[in-house]
Amino acid sequence: MAVSSGEDKVDRERRLASRQAGEQGLLFDNAVAMPNPNAGYRGPTACAAAGITYRQLDYWARTGLVEPSIRPAHGSGSQRLYGFRDILVLKVVKRLLDAGVSLQQIRTAVTHLRDRGVEHLATITLMSDGVSVYECTSADEVVDLLQGGQGVFGIALGRVWQEVEGSLANLPAENADPYLEPRTGRDELSARRRARKTG
């Protein structure tokens, strides 16, 4: 059975992410699977997977902390559609809040995470002393942080990735293909027509 080039790419990315995670040798060593790029998740599903309330989700979207990458809300009655990466970031924000990190520092961390591609997120470990958030990319950096005398905690995004993946496995998803096209001069009506044609 022949494997499509899309599947080849996903397999290569999965192997690369696993190898990088193994080379990092930090707080995790489990392999991660690439998420389905055609899956979109409504707000209640995103909340369930990230362990947050709908009120938090709505506030974070309205203030630009974590916005849905597949489909933002446009007016009354429209529903946001979140991607896997969005839910991963939502769960990280929740963990940082639970650890007492300020919202301002969390915004800085989220901006940093937005600059990363999905295949790189699983190889990042975030560290915090409750005031600042640090990215840890090698075992040496962990030692340097601890020598400062301040206690730190880590969030291994590979582990969070697996938790989100496990949660989403039992929750409903939608086909996100119609929403992933570039928004170059096309309006919402055109997108709906295309979605109806492709069914």
Q: What percent of the chain has pLDDT over 70?
A: 62
The mean pLDDT of 39-68, rounded to a whole number, is 93
pLDDT value, residue 78: 74
Q: Which of 161, 95, 88, 159 is nearest to 128 (CA)?
A: 95
pLDDT of 25 strictly over 60 = no
Edge-to-edge strand ranges of the sheet holding 153-156: 133-136, 125-128, 153-156
Q: What is the pLDDT of residues 82-137, one digit of tens each?
A: 999 889 889 989 998 988 888 888 887 777 767 765 456 666 777 777 777 777 76
What pLDDT was estimated at residue 127?
76
Question: For position 94, what pLDDT does the model report?
Answer: 93
Can you say whether the dihedral through the CA atoms of 69, 115, 65, 136 is positive or negative?
positive
Of 70-74, 92-96, 174-178, the range with the highest mean pLDDT is 92-96
Cα gap 183→190, rounded to integer Å: 11
Highest mean pLDDT of the ranges 42-46, 132-136, 179-183: 42-46
Strands 153-156 and 125-128: antiparallel
